[in-house]
Structure 1
Amino acid sequence: MKRPLAASTLALGIALAAPAMAFDITSMSEAERDTFRQEVRSYLLENPEIIIEAVNTLEARQAEQAAMDDRTMVEVNAEALFNDGFSWEGGNPEGDVTLVEFLDYRCGYCRKAHEEVKELVSSDGNIRYIVKELPILGEESVTSSRFAIATKQIAGDEAYAAVYDTLMNFKGEVTETALRRIADTLDLEADPIIAQMQADEVSEVIEETRALAQRLQINGTPTFVMQDEMLRGYVPIDGMRQVVETLRENG
């Protein structure tokens, strides 16, 4: 005569204690399977911490896999990330750590991160900083990016840096009148910059950056790439400093 309880208890012990061993519930009778399910349910109700432990283990494995996937994507797209030939670069061009930021001027978290990123780059002194224009929050975002990119192409890096900083702190509606006012405030000639905004060269920068973001599975701003690490979303300055320190320790 079969003893379903004993069989299911043994199966439960094998399933929980030795998951690497082969275990086929389909080889059990229907009565044994029912009893097994009841035993599992009772065990988990009596030991709910096992569920939490299992979830934590799964999340850790998923995070590790995601980090590996991000590093692979960064490696494959390294040239476009770090040497595209058109993105603005600040900080120390010979820095031992390169920080890339994908940003949108209308993004609240990009604005929150802005001063902290400036402080990080300035206080560290050995970080190369690259800005990627990724306007994803509507027409005003696109207009802002076109103005910044056009400024770089017409007036150079120093003018871009001033416009970039101004747009990050600008709170009004982004209109041509507002952009002309910004240009005047920064002693820039507005007409050639405004004329350049719709040029193919400006569109190509935005399109290439969007394509890069798609390859990196970036769907929000800010997103940071620091060496081979990808940081998705706003990261406080202390967290950024910790990443820099870790990269240097492992470098």
Structure 2
Amino acid sequence: MTNPLSRKVIRLLFTVMATMLSVGMTACASPDSASQSPAVTSQHALDTAIEHYIRAHPEVIEQSLQALEVKREALERVRQKAMIDKRQQELLHDPTSPVSGNPNGAVTVIEFFDYRCGYCKRAAGAVTQLQKEDPRVRVVYKDFPILGETSELAAKAALASRVQGKHQVFHEALLAAKGDLTKDTILTVAGEVGLDAHRLEADMANPEWQAAIDRNRALAKELGISGTPGFIVGSELVPGALDVNGLKALIARAAKG
């Protein structure tokens, strides 16, 4: 896959190298020779010199792209940290975001997830195990349906299940469900965990759940979260599925500040 930055970087390299070569040629040439040979410092001559250099040293392009990507990622982490710090209230204390584990825990793990996401299903066991092994942990769930209408339907169902006091068991059952989710399977799973499916379906119509999902989407966009799952502990955001050791490592890094 072609790096989308490559064309911009190559143009940037040409500009930088042109400047460097221009300075170098001017410095190495005597005033008389510089004034007598304007073609040497012409744009065409510089472009030709740069092209020859890059052909002789093609690794320069790759190295520059890699360095630029490292710098970009570092800047993005700084931006994300600042935004996480700015959005602490929404991340930690939105009353519509379900919470599990120790509600007064000293360590909060925030998860952006989608019920139809295979990686979220894979990470679910690790999140459950973490809560069992570490009584300090408080988990905040941010429903972030990105995989279509059924994902949004599942998110609304899970949020609405709080009315009947069954969110956690329903949440875990939805993530453990085999095959793709449909409205029928969502309601079937609801019945299996003791929810009144008819009441749940009525509660799902509450606009409060859509508003919560919309807030999560806006928050994810600000933080640069485009996929699921995404975990936040302290001021660090880690995209992708984590096993229990990965979650513990994230907590340990946050503890060190």
Q: TM-score range by the shorter chain?
A: 0.7 to 0.9
TM-score with structure 2 setting the length? 0.76
Deviations 1:33-53 (A, max 9, x none): 455444444444444554444
> What is the aligned partner in structure 2 of residue 21 from structure 1?
none
> How far has the Cα of 1:171 moved from its partner?
2.4
Kept in 2, the 8 Å contact 1:99–1:226? The answer is: yes
Partner of 2:205: 198
The residue that corresponds to 1:103 in the other structure is: 113
Q: 1:164 is matched with which residue?
A: 171
Q: 2:136 aligns with which of 116, 126, 143?
A: 126
Kept in 2, the 8 Å contact 1:107–1:137? The answer is: yes
RMSD: 2.9
What SS does the corresponding residue of 2:140 show, helix, strand or coil? strand
Bigger drift between 178-187 and 161-170 goes to: 178-187
Cα displacement (A) at 1:220? 1.9
Provide the secondary structure at the position in 2 that maps to 1:135.
coil
**Aligned counterpart, 2:252:** 245
Q: Is the 8 A contact 2:112 2:229 kept in 1?
A: yes
Distance change in 2, residues 1:54/1:74 (3 Å): same
Q: Distance in 1 between matches of 2:75 and 2:195?
A: 48
Range that drifts further, 223-232 or 209-218:
209-218
Report sequence identity in percent: 29
Structure 1 residues 183 and 11: CA distance shift in structure 2, 3 A: closer
* SS at 1:73 equivalent: helix
In 2, Cα distance between the equivalents of 1:214 and 1:199? Answer: 24
- For 1:29, the aligned partner's letter is P
State how far apart, in whole Å, the 1-side matches of 2:73 and 2:20 are.
Answer: 31
Q: Aligned residues, how many?
A: 228
Shift of the 14–193 alpha-carbon distance from structure 1 to 2, 3 Å rule, reads same
Shift of 1:192: 1.9
Which of residues 71, 79, 88 in structure 1 aligns to 2:81? 71
> 2:138 is paired with a residue of what secondary structure?
strand
Corresponding position: 1:146 with 2:156? yes
What secondary structure, in the 3-state scheme, does the structure 1 residue paired with 2:205 have?
A: coil
* 237-246 or 28-37, which deviates more: 28-37
Q: Report the Cα distance in structure 1 between the residues aligned to 2:22 and 2:38, rounded to whole angstroms.
A: 18
Mapped to 1, the partners of 2:148 and 2:178 lie a distance apart of 15
Q: Does 1:82 align with 2:92?
A: yes
1:76 is displaced (CA, Å) by 2.1
Change (3 A) 1:177 1:38: closer
Report the 3-state secondary structure (helix = DSSP H, G, I; strand = E; otherwise coil) of the residue aligned with 2:116. Answer: coil
1:54-91: CA deviations, max 9, x gaps?
A: 33322221111000111122122211111111211122
**TM-score w.r.t. structure 1 length?**
0.77
CA contact (8 A) 1:143 1:174 kept: no
Instruction: Tell me which residue corresponds to 1:23.
Output: none
- The residue that corresponds to 2:34 in the other structure is none
